[in-house]
Amino acid sequence: MSRFAGSDDEINENGKVVVPDEVQDAIRTLIEWSGDDPAREGLLDTPKRVARAWKEYCGGYAEEPEVHMARVFEEVGGYDEVVLLKDIPFQSHCEHHMAPITGKAAIAYLPKNKVVGISKLARVLHGYARRLQIQERLTAEVAQCIWDNLEPHGVAVVIEAQHGCMTGRGVRTPGVGMITSRLHGCFLEDHRSRKEVMSLMGYG
């Protein structure tokens, strides 16, 4: 675990996170190693800006996404069909190259005894996405969180994203999308239920 984890960030008089000197030094080293001069005018404040940006990018480490599942509603008027939130945009960062992962997610569940506010599904996604990730784990974590906390008949999560580590470096192949899915309960075990939810998501 990071030695910075769990500590409250110091805030300066302008309401911004105070960046430790060693973090700024690390970013200056990276700038210099990349071929530029961290002392030139345009880069003087870059170490602080980069550090604060990464604190925001990785804000998911400071929260437990399952807290968004705490408030549920049991009065659903007899509703027993699929609940689906689709085309949820998100951004994450690849844990291998720290390059952006940008995409969209579809999250569905078949309620048993309780439902949750739809915005909470997006909050769960963003809570896990705002960490260093791989798409496969992100998909699994979102699905498992909903499965464990709502105890529905089924959960389905499909994520489609582009990876900066593939589009901006290495093979440099833009426009390629990666799709991952994780199914639980009836969506995994019953062919008709799986076909229905995937069709609703647009992957029929």
* Confidence class for position 1, pLDDT limits 50, 70, 90: low
Is pLDDT above 80 for 77? no
For 111-133, write each residue's pLDDT tens digit: 998 999 999 999 999 999 999 99
Contact between 133 and 101 (Cβ < 8 Å): yes
Q: pLDDT above 70 covers what percent of the chain? A: 96
Q: What is the mean pLDDT of the chain?
A: 93
- Across 26-53, average pLDDT: 97
Task: Tell me the longest C-alpha to C-alpha distance in the chain.
Answer: 65
Give the Cα separation of 24 and 49 in Å (integer): 9
* Confidence class for position 7, pLDDT limits 50, 70, 90: low
* Confidence class for position 4, pLDDT limits 50, 70, 90: low
- Comparing CA positions, the residue from 162, 30, 172, 26 lying closest to residue 104 is 162
Is pLDDT above 60 for 148? yes
The tokens of 191 are what? 């062919």
The tokens of 13 are what? 């008089």
Burial (CB < 10 A; 0-12, 13-18, 19+), residue 39, is exposed
Total-model pTM: 0.91
- Residue carrying structure tokens 């992962």: 101
DSSP the chain: --TTTTPPPPB-TTS-BPPPHHHHHHHHHHHHHHTS-TTSGGGTTHHHHHHHHHHHHTGGGGS-GGGGGSSEE---TT--S-EEEEEEEEEEEETTT--EEEEEEEEEEE-SS-EE-HHHHHHHHHHHHSSEE-HHHHHHHHHHHHHHHH--SEEEEEEEEEEHHHHSSTT--TT--EEEEEEEEHHHH-HHHHHHHHHHHT--
What per-residue confidence (pLDDT) applies to 5? 53
Burial (CB < 10 A; 0-12, 13-18, 19+), residue 89, is exposed
